[in-house]
Amino acid sequence: MTERLRVRIRDDAGPPYRQLVEGIRRRIERGALLPGDRIPPVRTVAADLGIAPNTVGRAYRALEDDGWIEGRGRAGTFVADRLPERPSSVDAALEAAADDYLRRAAQLGVDRDAAITALRRHTR
């Protein structure tokens, strides 16, 4: 069964593709879209929401890359049978801190391995 997506795109809420990604993900998390449910084609969503098909395609690709949906060729796009695990807030915070650290190290001209070695030395 294909359901119309009830996602609202607002001008003041960031990039439309990101709003669509978050809206679909929330619908899946809340159980409004269940594993195996077919989601509307790109062109249908674009027409319903008044946004470009490329924007919808970009959102679908991001959701597929993250494991929320899966394309099944001509059959369409469906909510994934097995949904991704969400990291705990602590895991997410540590990952963000690690990304920040490695980005800053790169700005200083230090490669990833040297940055990790420096961190290990610091924790001794």
Using CA atoms, how far apart are residues 21 and 68, in angstroms rounded to an integer?
10
**pTM, two decimal places:** 0.66
Helix axes 16-30, 42-49, angle to 10 degrees: 110
CA within 13 Å, CB half, 41: 6
The answer to which of 4-8, 44-48, 70-74, 88-92 has the lowest mean pLDDT is: 88-92
Please answer whether residues 42 and 57 qualify as being in contact, where contact means their C-beta atoms are separated by less than 8 angstroms: yes
12-70 pLDDT per residue, tens: 888 899 999 999 999 998 889 999 999 999 999 999 999 999 999 999 999 999 999 99
